[in-house]
Chains A and B, each alone.
Chain A
Amino acid sequence: MTETQQKPIQPDPQAKMQSINLDVWFGQKQVLKSINLSVKPNTVTAIIGPSGCGKSTFIRTLNRMHELVPNAKLNGQVLLDGEDIYAKNVDPVMIRRRVGMVFQKPNPFPTMSIYDNVAAGLKLTGAKKGEDLDDIVKKSLIQASLWEEVKDDLKKPGTSISGGQQQRLCIARAVALRPEVILMDEPCSALDPIATAKIEKLVIELKQNYTVIIVTHNMQQASRVSDFTAFMYLGDLVEYGRTKDIFESPKSKLTEQYITGEFS
Chain B
Amino acid sequence: MNLNSYGLRKFKNRFFFVACAVCVVLAVAPLVSILWEVIVRGAPQLSLNFLTATNAKDGIGPAIQGTLILIGLTSLIGVPIGILSGVYLAEYGNNHFGSTMRIINDALTGVPSIVIGITAYGVIVIGLIGSYSAIAGAIALSFMIIPIIARTTEESLKLVPNNIREASLALGAHKWKTTLRIVLPSAKSAVITGVLLGVARVAGETAPLIMTILGNRYFFQGLNEPMAALPLEIWRDSLQAQQSIIAQGWGAALVLILLVLSINIIVRVVSRGRLRK
**A contacts B directly (C-beta below 8 A):** yes
Q: Judging by beta carbons under 8 Å apart, are B2 and A126 in contact?
A: yes
A91 pairs with B5, CB closer than 8 A: no
Please state if B2 and A125 are interface contacts (CB–CB under 8 Å). Answer: yes
Q: Does B10 contact A (CB under 8 A)?
A: yes
* Residue total for A at the interface (Cβ-Cβ under 8 A): 7
- B9: chain A residues at CB < 8 Å are 93, 124-125
Nearest CB in chain A: distance from B225 CB, A? 60
**CB-CB < 8 A to B5: which residues of A?**
125-126
For B2, B5, B6, B10, the residue with the greatest tally of chain A CB atoms inside 10 Å of its CB is B6
Q: Is A1 an interface residue (CB 8 A)?
A: no
Q: Which residues of A contact B26 (CB under 8 A)?
A: none
Select the residue from A91, A94, A124, A126 with max chain B CB neighbours within 10 A.
A126
Q: In the complex the two chains form, is A91's CB within 8 Å of B1's CB?
A: no
CB distance from B15 to the nearest CB of A (A): 15
* A124 CA to B9 CA, complexed, in Å: 9
Q: Closest CB-CB distance, A176 to chain B, in whole Å?
A: 13
Cα(A125)–Cα(B3), bound, Å: 9
The answer to whether A125 touches B10, judged by C-beta atoms less than 8 angstroms apart, is: no
Task: Indicate if A97 sits at the interface (CB-CB under 8 A).
Answer: yes
1/0 per residue, CB under 8 A from A, across B144-184: the answer is: 00000000000000000000000000000000000000000
**Which residues, 7 to 36 on B, are CB-close (under 8 Å) to A?**
9-10
Q: Separation in Å of the B263 CB from the closest CB of chain A?
A: 34
- A94 neighbours in B (Cβ, 8 Å): 6
Chain B contacts for A97, CB-based, 8 A: 1
Bound form: Cα–Cα A97–B9 in Å? 14
Report the bound CA distance from A93 to B9 in whole Å. Answer: 10
| Interface contacts beyond A124-B9, A126-B2: sample of 11 additional A-B pairs, CB < 8 Å, sorted by A | A91-B10, A93-B9, A93-B10, A94-B6, A97-B1, A125-B1, A125-B2, A125-B5, A125-B6, A125-B9, A126-B5
Give B residues with C-beta under 8 Å from A. 1-2, 5-6, 9-10
Closest 7 CB pairs of A and B: A126-B5, A125-B1, A125-B5, A124-B9, A91-B10, A125-B6, A97-B1
Residues of A bordering B, CB below 8 Å? 91, 93-94, 97, 124-126
7 contacts between A and B (CB under 8 A): A93-B9, A97-B1, A125-B2, A125-B5, A125-B9, A126-B2, A126-B5
